[in-house]
Chain A
Amino acid sequence: MAISTRIRTGTGMVADMPPITLSEGKLTDQQAAYITDAIRALIRQFNGRISLGDGSNSSLSGNIDGQTREFYFALANTDYEVPHGLGRAPIGILSLDVNVDGAVVRGNQRGDWNESRLFLRCSQAGTTALFVIV
């Protein structure tokens, strides 16, 4: 089974913070600063900066538990196997960009979706679609 790995580009990510060990039951000024910075980073990210990633093929879709895929549908209305790296059966897709007037849909093999692949089809032949598998 083709195995796709989510490429981590870092887009939208918030930095980790060090483990906090209290000194005599108290926070140091430095530790308090870490915590403050970490919370502020989360606030900044949450307020209008939730990201869907950088759109590159196979990348982790920003802050979303998904994977961005670019896929070419050579034939219309034909199911194509699309590998993904979610590690779980997908819920569905969020369509981001389609280069022709066609719709990317789940096709007839929805029941075969699993932790590493899903099946999609497009109503138009020769379509390149960019979508997020979630």
Chain B
Amino acid sequence: MPRFVFNDVGGGLNQGQPPQTIQDREWVECKNFFPFATKLRRRGGLRRLNDSVYSERLTGVLAFRPTSVDVQTLVGGRTTIAELDGNSILALPPQVGFSISDSLKPWTAFEYKNIAYWLRQASNALVRSDGTYYGPSGIAAPATAPTLVDGAAGDIPAANFYGVYTFYNAATNVESNPSPASGVLAHAGSKKINWSGIGVSTNSQVGARRLYRTLPNQTGEYYFVAQIDNNFDTTFTGDNVLVQDLGEAVSFSNGEPPVGLHFGTVWKERFFASDKVDIFYSELGRIECFDEDSIISVFPDDGHEIRAVYAYGDRLVIGKTNKVHYLVGTDPDNFGLLTLSDRHGCAAHHSMQSAEGLLFWLGLDNFYRSDGNSVVGIASVKLQTILAALDPTTLEFAVATVFPGLNWYVCVIPGVATVVYNYKTDAWTEFTHGAELQGVFDHFTDDFVQDMYATDDAGYVYRFADSTYNYDDDGATAGGAISAPLVSKPQEGGNPAAYTVMSRVYLAMQAYAEEITLSWLHEATVLNTRTVSLNYPERWKTYALSTRQGAKADVRLKILYTGATPIEIEGWAVDGDSVGRLSTRPH
């Protein structure tokens, strides 16, 4: 009886290709195994990290690591920002008077200058947190003007002067726009200048105020005089700063972040965010400060939405629902908008990721990959069934991350599927979980080792595909078995359309103290099934599994593994022989 041997089983999932053209290394069903070189390996478990359920659905995770401090895992809920502390999730306190609007949408979270920033559709503008509280980003300009009067004897020559002041965060260099200008001070000369009426800020990030004054007899431009290193003094006495000692000119580009932003990213030391119509960008190095003119229109009249903003090397990729564009340049003077794809739009901001020069995203009908020049669809065939189930209304909230250690692009499409793409071998697989995952997020340990965290609908955080854990937790239920099925391409015994009798199945793998279930399927019918031991030392393990009693022309091997050990399948083989009789009468 001929033996058909498959030493390469790492082709992954292929749902859409017809049996006669599907590769031997591919599988028509592949769940919870992932291709690893030419092998298949059972994935790691889904380890629950908080013992008690958090009160809200969690839709964002950030590994927050201020300088020289261990990683603090922050999570974003519907109305709160919280901290994963040990095995508990504890809500951070909001700044007095600040609250986050309720939303189920995924958070964009990132760290910049020791501050964690959070942004989400249908929520507040940019939210900031130092890990102990959360509140609004940006600093509103002072509403009241200062007063300048002549002071004691000094060096400032006679001239007219005007003054303004700003609110300032010395830790992050975030500064407000200036206050209204003072009334004119007709300085008598040879005196100092005394300031009063300097307002205080209600924003808790403000720890200083900065005073600016015009050059003698000039208007409209103010230069740094002094800094008050607190947020309570309302006077400054003895300003004796001459022109040559004045500092930097005040900026009028320090407005608060625009409202209505949905998502964004930091690129070239600026924060770029979108309200789905335009791109807004911050001042250089001050990501909470926005000039009112810092807007880039991206074909706003084409009837489509911006769905993604992603920093991709020298480019800022802007994904719209109809096309994908990108921005180049270093500052507003030379920003240039170009088009990467005029066909393959982007559906979800959080699906756009990159690794090793490749960019990935989820479109409305397919996953796409680009090397920066050309764009190719990568899943229309292999994930045909999954893609057919996509709901355009929820597609927008797919969340992905990249795990370079295994060459994975992982995408959670809530309510549809969690798919994993090996970008080195162009192979897909599907991960299934009992928990209703809402997203998977990049995370790293204190030693900068990357791992992935996932969140669910119920209020739990998990370590995703945890190679040290062999079970799937599901909310309050821990330790569930991981069910990992594989279904081969149809086996034809070298004689398509003819009945084939299968007699033995061989699995190439190490010995494991586990069992596995082998079945021959024809359509939805199980022709024969056995649960067998893997605990044999021989690399090729032989199992009798015959279809002699019900030979068919189209049979598929199903392998179902539910054990704890993360097994690897290195190959398989089958003894099968065509009996020569066609499966249907010729018509």
Given that A30-B373, A72-B217 are contacting pairs, would A3 and B335 also be in contact in the complex, using a CB cutoff of 8 Å? no
Q: Specify the main secondary structure of chain A where it touches its partner.
A: loop
B334/A3 in contact, CB under 8 A: no
A31/B216 in contact, CB under 8 A: no
Nearest A residue (CB) for B222: A2
Give A134 to B100 CA distance when docked, in angstroms: 50
Of the candidates A5, A8, A15, A72, the one whose C-beta lies within 8 Å of that of B249 is: A5
Shortest CB distance A51–B (Å): 11
**A13 touching B334, Cβ below 8 Å:** yes
Query: Across the interface, do A10 and B373 meet the contact criterion of CB distance under 8 Å?
Result: no
- Quick one: closest A residue to B331, CB to CB? A8
A14 and B334 within 8 A (CB): yes
Nearest CB of chain B from residue A53's CB, rounded to whole Å:
11
| Bound Cα distance from A26 to B326, whole angstroms | 22
Cβ contacts under 8 Å, A34 to chain B: 338
Which residues 1-56 of A have a CB within 8 angstroms of B? 1-5, 8, 10, 13-19, 21, 23, 28, 30-31, 34
Q: At the interface, is chain B mostly helix, strand, loop or mixed?
A: loop
Q: Does B279 contact A (CB under 8 A)?
A: no
Q: Is A16 within 8 A of B330, CB to CB?
A: yes
- Determine if A74 is an interface residue (Cβ-Cβ < 8 Å): yes
User: Number of A residues whose C-beta is below 8 Å from B?
Assistant: 30
Known: A2-B243, A83-B249. A17 touches B223 (CB 8 A): no
For chain B, give the interface size range: 35 or more
Quick one: CB contact mask for B427-464 with A, threshold 8 Å, 1 for yes? 00000000000000000000000000000000000000
Minimum CB distance partner of A8 in chain B: B333
In this assembly, does A97 line the interface, its C-beta being within 8 Å of a C-beta of chain B? no
User: Which residues of chain B from 211 to 258 have any CB-CB distance to chain A below 8 Å in the complex?
Assistant: 215-221, 223-224, 243-249, 251
The yes or no answer to B297 lying at the interface (CB within 8 A) is no
Query: Residue of B at shortest CB range from A12?
Result: B333
What are 24 A-B pairs at a CB distance below 8 A?
A1-B244, A5-B251, A8-B331, A10-B333, A15-B334, A15-B335, A16-B334, A18-B314, A18-B328, A18-B338, A18-B372, A19-B314, A21-B372, A28-B374, A30-B373, A30-B374, A34-B338, A57-B221, A60-B333, A72-B217, A74-B159, A80-B215, A83-B215, A83-B223
A residues near B (Cβ < 8 Å) are 1-5, 8, 10, 13-19, 21, 23, 28, 30-31, 34, 57-58, 60, 71-72, 74, 80-81, 83, 117
